């Protein structure tokens, strides 16, 4: 079999890339290790930048997002019992949209089905070969049968644990990493959110976040120790702890309910450079990870795809490799700024076990400055709604 572009992974990066390329007449094959239902069952990101919304529109997969997504003009940060609002709309003229990653995945899969583009689910043992030659080869197994696909380019959209980044020789790739000494315990519940915007909480017992996926579905997070297990957190204990970290109004408006999902995610900052090896291009979590505090993971996957799809379209339409040659540098420039913002939000809002009295004073001074300075609020808002592509 031969296609122009093989895409490894059907997360948001792979599906969005597949859709943008298909609409430009470029033939793609997506290889996904998991089943379709498994991919659709993953509960992850939920805050979408306007840039990513624009890409979903270009992909023909934004109708439901516009109908059902919640537009947020700001966010709140609670500290020492007081809530402070950052008004994105007033400060930047932009807003974000709350719409679950699961729904985005659903919409992109439906759009892909509608144009008849092919995805192989449960593709096992995907391996990449001849990446520096003119005709890379991708091998995989499906139902025990071996397959081989020849292509012009491979897009590595297979997330942090995928095969693509590992296919780059170790001496040609450099990684940068910071692992944080805590995780997020997340609970999904079919109850209305406690506020119509996200509430970030810096509390001496640890960070908390009150988020949502819709007007009737809330997503709550608590900072927890890495060695904790979800079994140690029955719903009652979770809501008790969340109530202790919230301001009085937040605690009053909290609607507890039986959790429909509960999980612990570690927090990590990670970047692999370069994002290209021969005719393999990395996009999304395969090349970088951010702690979710800045809501940037999915949005960064989208901005990589914006650059990569434009470069591939230029390559096929104009027979120019200029865009592809500039892809890694362009994507990484935006990635590092989002890494910085996500690291800064994480540092500003969490309790670090090794923090000294001085560190805690610095955190309080940073928050006090943020709440009192329009310039500081504008910098936060500008990064939160997403830097330009």
Ligand X SMILES: Cc1cc2nc3c(=O)[nH]c(=O)nc-3n(C[C@H](O)[C@H](O)[C@H](O)COP(=O)(O)OP(=O)(O)OC[C@H]3O[C@@H](n4cnc5c(N)ncnc54)[C@H](O)[C@@H]3O)c2cc1C
Contacts with ligand X by CB under 6 A: the residue count is 33
Of 106 and 368, nearer to ligand X (C-beta) is 106
193 near ligand X, rule: CB under 6 A: no
Nearest to 45 by CA among 237, 226, 243, 198: 198
Selected from 18, 297, 323, 386, the binder of ligand X by CB under 6 A is: 297
Selected from 3, 7, 10, 202, the binder of ligand X by CB under 6 A is: 10
Nearest to 202 by CA among 44, 45, 385, 359: 359
Is 292 in the active site?
Answer: yes
Q: Would you state the structure tokens that stand for residue 7, as one six-digit string?
A: 């895409």
Q: Least separation, in Å, of the C-beta of 187 and ligand X?
A: 13
Q: H or E stretch including 323? A: helix 322-349
Selected from 49, 76, 158, 241, the binder of ligand X by CB under 6 A is: 158
Catalytic annotation, pick one of 203, 288, 296, 330 = 296
92 near ligand X, rule: CB under 6 A: no
- Please give the Cα distance from 359 to 347 (Å, whole number): 10
267 near ligand X, rule: CB under 6 A: no
342 near ligand X, rule: CB under 6 A: no
350 near ligand X, rule: CB under 6 A: no
- Please give the Cα distance from 287 to 177 (Å, whole number): 11
The DSSP bridge pattern shows strands 208-214 and 70-72 to be: unpaired
| Cα 221 to chain centroid, rounded | 16
Contacts with 342 (C-beta within 8 Å, 6 or more apart), sequence order: 269, 290, 291, 292, 293, 294, 296
CB count, 10 Å around CB of 355?
13
Selected from 3, 5, 7, 8, the binder of ligand X by CB under 6 A is: 8
45 near ligand X, rule: CB under 6 A: yes
Exposed (0-12), middle (13-18) or buried (19+): which is 6, by Cβ within 10 Å?
A: buried
Selected from 13, 212, 222, 370, the binder of ligand X by CB under 6 A is: 13
How far the first Cα of the chain sits from its last, in Å, is 35
Residue window 226-265: x/- pattern of binding to ligand X, with contact defined by CB under 6 A: ---------------------------------------x
Please identify, among the stretches 38-46, 55-63, 129-137, 231-239, the one whose residues bind ligand X according to the rule CB under 6 A. 38-46
Is 221 in the active site?
Answer: no
386 near ligand X, rule: CB under 6 A: no
Q: Least separation, in Å, of the C-beta of 345 and ligand X?
A: 12
Of 337 and 368, nearer to ligand X (C-beta) is 337
17 near ligand X, rule: CB under 6 A: no
Selected from 11, 51, 250, 386, the binder of ligand X by CB under 6 A is: 11
61 near ligand X, rule: CB under 6 A: no
370 near ligand X, rule: CB under 6 A: no
- Please give the Cα distance from 274 to 87 (Å, whole number): 36
Please identify, among the stretches 82-90, 226-234, 271-279, 291-299, the one whose residues bind ligand X according to the rule CB under 6 A. 291-299
Is 99 in the active site?
Answer: no
- Please give the Cα distance from 39 to 37 (Å, whole number): 5
Contacts with 268 (C-beta within 8 Å, 6 or more apart), sequence order: 177, 178, 179, 180, 289, 291
Residue window 302-341: x/- pattern of binding to ligand X, with contact defined by CB under 6 A: ----------------------------------------
Q: Would you state the structure tokens that stand for residue 21, as one six-digit string?
A: 């390329």
Selected from 138, 222, 295, 381, the binder of ligand X by CB under 6 A is: 295
Q: Whose structure tokens read 């890339």?
A: 17
- Please give the Cα distance from 195 to 212 (Å, whole number): 9
Of 69 and 292, nearer to ligand X (C-beta) is 292
Contacts with 106 (C-beta within 8 Å, 6 or more apart), sequence order: 40
Q: In what order do the strands lie in the sheet with 5-8?
A: 118-120, 28-31, 5-8, 153-156, 280-282, 276-277
Selected from 34, 344, 351, 378, the binder of ligand X by CB under 6 A is: 34
Q: Which residues bind ligand X (CB under 6 A)?
A: 8-14, 31-34, 39, 44-46, 101, 123, 126, 157-159, 161-163, 265, 284-285, 292, 295-298, 301
For the annotated catalytic residues, the residue numbers are: 72, 200, 292, 296, 384
């Amino acid at each position: 079999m031969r296609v122009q572009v093989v895409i490894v992974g059907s997360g948001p990066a792979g599906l969005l890339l597949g859709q943008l390329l298909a609409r430009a007449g470029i033939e793609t094959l997506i290889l996904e290790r998991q089943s379709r239902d498994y991919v659709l069952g993953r509960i992850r990101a939920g805050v979408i930048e306007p840039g990513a919304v624009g890409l979903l529109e270009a992909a023909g997969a934004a109708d439901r997002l516009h109908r059902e997504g919640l537009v947020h003009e700001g966010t709140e940060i609670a500290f020492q019992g007081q809530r402070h609002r950052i008004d994105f709309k007033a400060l930047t003229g932009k807003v974000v949209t709350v719409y679950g990653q699961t729904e985005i995945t659903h919409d992109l899969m439906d759009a892909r089905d509608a144009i008849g583009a092919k995805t192989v689910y449960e593709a096992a043992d995907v391996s990449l070969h001849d990446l520096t030659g003119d005709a890379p080869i991708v091998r995989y197994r499906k139902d025990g049968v071996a397959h081989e696909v020849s292509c012009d380019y491979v897009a590595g959209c297979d997330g942090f644990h995928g095969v693509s980044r590992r296919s780059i020789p170790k001496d040609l790739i450099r990684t940068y990493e910071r692992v944080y000494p805590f995780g997020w315990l997340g609970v999904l519940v079919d109850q209305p959110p406690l506020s119509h915007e996200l509430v970030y909480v810096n509390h001496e017992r640890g960070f908390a976040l009150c988020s949502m996926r819709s007007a009737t579905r809330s997503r709550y997070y608590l900072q927890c120790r890495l060695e904790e297990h979800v079994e140690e957190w029955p719903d009652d204990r979770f809501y008790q702890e969340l109530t202790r970290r919230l301001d009085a109004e937040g605690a009053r408006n909290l609607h507890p309910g039986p959790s429909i999902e509960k999980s612990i995610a570690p927090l990590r900052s990670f970047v692999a450079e370069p994002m290209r090896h021969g005719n393999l291009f990395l996009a999304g979590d395969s090349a970088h990870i951010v702690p979710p505090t800045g809501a940037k993971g999915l949005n960064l996957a989208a901005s990589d795809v914006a650059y990569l799809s434009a470069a591939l379209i230029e390559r096929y339409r104009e027979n120019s490799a200029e865009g592809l040659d500039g892809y890694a540098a362009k994507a990484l420039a935006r990635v590092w700024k989002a890494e910085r913002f996500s690291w800064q939000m994480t540092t500003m809002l969490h309790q670090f076990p090794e923090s000294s009295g001085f560190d805690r004073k610095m955190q309080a001074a940073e928050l006090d400055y943020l709440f009192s300075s329009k310039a500081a609020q504008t910098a936060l808002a500008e990064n939160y709604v997403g830097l330009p592509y």
